[in-house]
Structure 1
Amino acid sequence: MATLILVRHGRSTANTAGLLAGWTPGVALDERGAEQAAALPGRLDGIPLAAVVTSPLQRCRETLAPLLAARPDLAVHPDERIGECHYGDWSGRKLSELSEDPLMRIVQQHPSAVTFPGGESMRAMQARAVEAVREWNARIEEEHGADAVYLMCSHGDIVKSLVADALGMHLDLFQRIHVDPCSVTVIRYTPTRPFLIRLGDTGDFAPLVPHPQAPARDDAEGEGNAVVGGGAGAA
């Protein structure tokens, strides 16, 4: 079966502003995100991509633009099923404010029980994304063969939920997974099980270097919580 390369979009203006973007229109890549997107063609150089599937949101389309410019013959397919979680009334709000909402504790500890007010449940988010991958796996294999490689550009919580599915993890454990902006995650699917080949690979190990005098990279992670939506990554 096909091998899937999952790319989280580059760093966005919402990431750096500490906002939960969701499906809010007009969320673009920031300067760092544009640099990350520009580097993507080189990182994937030599990998024969059969197709690209993308979230329809602007930050994903902007992330893919340099890759598509470098490979103009590559087929691109928008798919709303790998679009960001519908956070409903939480969309566009500051994560620092949302951290005080009692629902955040459930988001962190029992996400399978969460339905965002005015939005969707995290179970539904995962189910639609997994359904999309299964259908695209079958289509890519039928059209390009069992050894084909294709790419999906999506969002932090979507990528995390797909990794959890591939590892056989309950959704309640998916907050233990972290993927930075423009990171690459690779899952190779087989008839019996998926194999996680790469997870959140940016090629940058600088964030692992201790900086005792510096504040925690993200307050939520410093307290042991996951950043809803995926966070801004390293500075």
Structure 2
Amino acid sequence: MATLILVRHGRTTANASGLLAGRADGISLDQLGCDQAALAGDRLAAVPVAGVVSSPLERCRQTARLIIDRQAGSPQAVVDPDLTECDYGQWQGRKLDDLATEDLWPMVQSQPSAVVFPGGESMAAMQARSVAAVRRHDAAFEARNGPGAVWVAVSHGDVIKSILADALGMHLDLFQRINVSPGSVSIVHYSASRPSVHATNTEAGDLSWLSNGIRSGDAPVGGGAGQKTT
């Protein structure tokens, strides 16, 4: 199968002020967020990316553009609503410090699979739609570009954490153990037998080894020799 690069959007004005932005309009990258997204683009510049699929929200589209602008070719650009932020309902636009006093907060931390945000979406539904979306796009990129294809999905923290939890075989109730920072890069390879996770939450480092994609196959006993860098 193809190789999926998960990129969280760069920091936003809402992130910096401790607001839960959700799906609100007008939330854009701040200067640090632009720098983080540009760095992700610089790291991916050495990798021929077949396409970039983005959440429709502005902060993700800004991040996607900074990645595409650094590509030597012209990767396909797609917006997919299934990669959008969780619908936090009545929590949207509120301060995280205030939300931490809500009765629902402990369940968000320890049992997210049972959480339905008031007037919004369940976290289980968020995971189901986002995992289905990346698997659908992954199969499509492989069909068009071959098994060595590398593509990028630009999305949001909780969405990416839920995709990584699925790839790692973790129950959604454990997904708060995963950290996904603004502008970070995570790498997942799907195969016929199982997903394999090659990186999570990386904010620096050479990604040129991805130029030839990741080969599917059995996991090497003992860990193997790692990816070829040349």
TM over 0.5: yes
Q: Please give the TM-score of this superposition, normalised by the length of structure 2.
A: 0.86
Q: Give the TM-score normalised by the residue count of structure 1.
A: 0.85
Q: Give the unaligned 5+ runs of structure 2.
A: 206-230
Q: Deviations over 1:6-56 (max 9, x none)?
A: 000000111001000110100000110011122222211221111110000
Q: Identical aligned pairs, as a percentage?
A: 51
Q: How many residues are aligned here?
A: 204
Moved more, 172-181 or 33-42: 33-42
Note the 1:120-139 alignment, pairs <5 A: 120-139=121-140
1:108-143 CA distance string (max 9 Å, x none): 010000000010000000000011011111111110
Partner of 2:88: 87
CA drift at 1:144: 0.5
2:43 and 2:138 map into 1 onto residues whose CA distance is 23
Aligned to 2:43: 43
Describe the SS at the equivalent of 1:53: strand
Helix, strand or coil at the partner of 1:70: coil
1:142 to 2:147 alignment? no
Name the counterpart of 1:111. 112
Match of 1:176 in 2: 177
Aligned to 1:98: 99
Aligned-pair CA distance for 1:93:
0.3
- Distance in 2, matches of 1:73 and 1:197, equals 25
**Residue equivalent to 1:20:** 20
Q: Which runs of 5+ in 1 are unaligned?
A: 205-235
Matches within 5 A, 1:190-229: 190-203=191-204
Deviation at 1:66, TM superposition (A): 2.0
Q: Is the 2:89–2:117 contact (alpha carbons within 8 Å) kept by the matching residues of 1? A: yes
How many angstroms does 1:97 deviate by? 0.2
Report which stretch shifted further, 152-161 or 43-52: 43-52
Q: Which residue of 1 is the match for residue 208 of structure 2?
A: none
Give the secondary structure class of the aligned counterpart of 2:29: coil
Which shows bigger deviation, 25-34 or 59-68? 59-68
Find the aligned partners of 1:94 and 1:166 in 2 and give their Cα distance: 31
Cα RMSD between the aligned structures? 1.1
Structure 1 residue 73: deviation in Å?
1.6
